[in-house]
Chains A and B, each alone.
Chain A
Amino acid sequence: MPLDTKTTGFKYIGTRPDRPDGIDKVTGKARYGADAYAPGMLHGVMVRSPHAHARIKKIDATKALALKGVKAVVTRADFPTGLEGEDWNIQENCMAGEVALYDGHAVAAVAATSLLLAREAAKLIEVEYEVLPHVTDVDEAMKPGAPAIRAGAADYSVPEGLHPNVMRYIEYGHGDLEAGFAAADLVMENTYKTEATHQGYIEPHACLAQLGSDGKGEMWVCTQGHWFIRRMSAAVLGIDVANLRVTPSEIGGGFGGKTTVFIEPVALALSRKAGKPVKMVMTRSEVLRATGPTSSSSIDVKMGMKKDGTMTAAKVTMRMQGGAFPMAPIDSALDCAFSCYNIPAVHHEGYDVLANRPKQAAYRAPGSPMAAFATESLVDEMCRALGLDPLKTRLKNASREGTKASFGPTFPRIGLVETLEAAIAHPHYAAPLGTNQGRGVASGYWMNWGGETSVSAALGEDGSVTVSVGTPDIGGSRASMALMAAEALGIPYENVRVNVVDTGSLGVNEPTHGSRATYATGLATIEAVKQISSKLCQRAADKWGIPAEAVIWEDGCAKPSGPNAGEFPPLTIGELAAEMGSTGGPISGHFEATPSGHGGSFGTHIVDVEVDPETGHTSVLRYTVVQDAGKAIHPAYVEGQFQGGAAQGIGWALNEEYIYGADGRLQNTVFLDYRIPVASDLPMIDTVIVEVPNPGHPYGVRGVGETGITPPLPAVANAVHAAAGVRLRSLPMSPPRILAAIKAKG
Chain B
Amino acid sequence: MTQIHVTTTVNGDEVDFLADPRETLLDCLRDKLGMTGAKEGCGTGDCGACSVTVDGRLVCSCLVLGVEAQGKTIETVEGMAEGEKLHPLQRKFIEHAALQCGICTPGILVAAKALLAQNPDPAEEEVRYWLAGNLCRCTGYDKIIRAVLDAAAEMREGV
Binding site for B on A (CB under 8 A): 16, 18-19, 21-23, 25-32, 34-35, 37, 114-116, 199-204, 250-255, 281, 283-284, 474-476, 634, 636-637, 639-641, 643-644, 646-648, 670-672, 676-682, 684-685
Residue among B76, B104, B146 making CB contact with A202, cutoff 8 Å: B104
Contact B94–A203 (Cβ < 8 Å) = no
Task: Report A-chain residues with C-beta under 8 Å of the C-beta of B90.
Answer: 23, 26-27
Provide 22 A-B residue pairs closer than 8 Å at the C-beta atoms, listed in order of the A residue: A22-B94, A26-B109, A27-B86, A28-B37, A31-B36, A34-B30, A35-B36, A116-B20, A202-B137, A204-B41, A253-B103, A284-B41, A474-B100, A475-B101, A634-B97, A640-B139, A640-B140, A641-B100, A679-B128, A679-B136, A679-B145, A680-B125
Contact B138–A475 (Cβ < 8 Å) = yes
Task: Report B-chain residues with C-beta under 8 Å of the C-beta of A640.
Answer: 97, 100, 138-140, 143
B122 at the interface (CB under 8 A from A): no
Closest CB of chain A to B143's CB: distance in Å?
Answer: 6
Task: Report A-chain residues with C-beta under 8 Å of the C-beta of B143.
Answer: 636, 639-640, 643
Task: Report A-chain residues with C-beta under 8 Å of the C-beta of B35.
Answer: 28
Residue among B30, B42, B101 making CB contact with A671, cutoff 8 Å: B42
Contact B101–A253 (Cβ < 8 Å) = yes
Residue among A16, A23, A204, A672 making CB contact with B46, cutoff 8 Å: A672
Closest CB of chain B to A44's CB: distance in Å?
Answer: 15
Contact B39–A646 (Cβ < 8 Å) = no
Q: Mark B97-109, 1 if CB is under 8 A from A, else 0.
A: 1011111111001
Contact A203 to B101, CB < 8 A, known contacts A18-B95, A27-B86, A28-B35: yes
Closest CB of chain B to A203's CB: distance in Å?
Answer: 4
Task: Report A-chain residues with C-beta under 8 Å of the C-beta of B47.
Answer: 202, 284, 671
Task: Report B-chain residues with C-beta under 8 Å of the C-beta of A639.
Answer: 97, 142-143
Among residues of A, the one whose C-beta sits closest to the C-beta of B94 is A22
Among residues of B, the one whose C-beta sits closest to the C-beta of A200 is B137
Among residues of A, the one whose C-beta sits closest to the C-beta of B34 is A37
Contact A27 to B81, CB < 8 A, known contacts A202-B104, A682-B140: yes
Contact A671–B135 (Cβ < 8 Å) = yes
Binding site for A on B (CB under 8 A): 1, 20, 22-23, 27, 30-31, 35-44, 46-47, 49, 76-78, 80-81, 86, 90-91, 93-97, 99-106, 109, 124-125, 127-129, 131-146
In Å, the complex CA distance between A634 and B30 comes to 34
Closest CB of chain A to B103's CB: distance in Å?
Answer: 3
Task: Report A-chain residues with C-beta under 8 Å of the C-beta of B46.
Answer: 284, 670-672
Q: Which of B44, B78, B133 has the most CB of A within 10 A?
A: B44
Task: Report A-chain residues with C-beta under 8 Å of the C-beta of B99.
Answer: 22, 25-26
Task: Report A-chain residues with C-beta under 8 Å of the C-beta of B140.
Answer: 640, 643-644, 646-647, 677, 682, 685
Contact A253–B138 (Cβ < 8 Å) = yes
Task: Report B-chain residues with C-beta under 8 Å of the C-beta of A16.
Answer: 97
Residue among A32, A34, A116, A476 making CB contact with B97, cutoff 8 Å: A476
Residue among A203, A671, A679 making CB contact with B131, cutoff 8 Å: A679
In Å, the complex CA distance between A123 and B128 comes to 41
Q: Which 3 A-B pairs have the closest CB atoms?
A: A28-B37, A252-B103, A647-B140
Contact A644 to B100, CB < 8 A, known contacts A28-B77, A116-B22, A202-B41: yes
Closest CB of chain A to B13's CB: distance in Å?
Answer: 15
Task: Report A-chain residues with C-beta under 8 Å of the C-beta of B91.
Answer: 26
Contact A252–B39 (Cβ < 8 Å) = yes
Q: Which of A27, A639, A648 has the most CB of B within 10 A?
A: A27
In Å, the complex CA distance between A634 and B133 comes to 29
Contact B101–A679 (Cβ < 8 Å) = no
Task: Report B-chain residues with C-beta under 8 Å of the C-beta of A203.
Answer: 39, 41, 101, 103
Contact A32–B39 (Cβ < 8 Å) = yes
In Å, the complex CA distance between A676 and B39 comes to 18
Among residues of B, the one whose C-beta sits closest to the C-beta of A201 is B137
Closest CB of chain B to A475's CB: distance in Å?
Answer: 4
Task: Report A-chain residues with C-beta under 8 Å of the C-beta of B41.
Answer: 202-204, 252, 284, 671
Contact A684 to B100, CB < 8 A, known contacts A18-B95, A27-B80: no
Among residues of B, the one whose C-beta sits closest to the C-beta of A651 is B137
List 7 additional A-B contacts (Cβ < 8 Å) besides A26-B86, A671-B46, A671-B135.
A23-B94, A252-B102, A255-B137, A284-B46, A644-B139, A647-B139, A670-B46
